[in-house]
Amino acid sequence: MIAFDMQQCGQRVKALRKAKHWRQQDLAAKAGIRAPHLISHIERGDKTTLQAETLMALAQALDCSGDYLLGLSDAPPGAAQEATPKRKRTRPARPCQ
C-alpha cells in the first residue's frame, strides 16, 4: 500500500486554487463537490484518505494530474497535456458493428 502525503496534497490544492483566484466554495462547485467544507479539510491535511472520484474531480477542475496532487509527480500543472499532443484524425471513425 502506498502512503500519500495528504499535507502536501492539501498544499498543492490550495496553491492551485489561489492561483486561479477561487474561493474554496468556487473550487467545490467546479469539481462537483457537494460539501464545500471538504475543500478546507483537504487543504489543511485533515483528510487521511481521499476517494478517487474526488481526487480526479479536483485535478480536472484545477487543470492538473491526480499524480501531481498526490505528490507522485512534480510536473507542473498542464505539463501532462503539453507532453502528449493530440493527434488529428486523418479519416472518419468507422461505426462499431
CA distances from 97 to 35, 43, 91, 94 (A): 43, 48, 18, 9
Report CA Rg, the chain.
Answer: 16
Tell me: the pLDDT tens digits for 34-92?
999 999 999 999 988 889 999 999 999 999 999 999 988 887 776 545 444 444 555 55
State the pTM of this model: 0.76
**Grid coordinates of 70:** 498526490
All structural domains of the chain = 6-83 (1.10.260.40)
Place of cell 481521499: 50
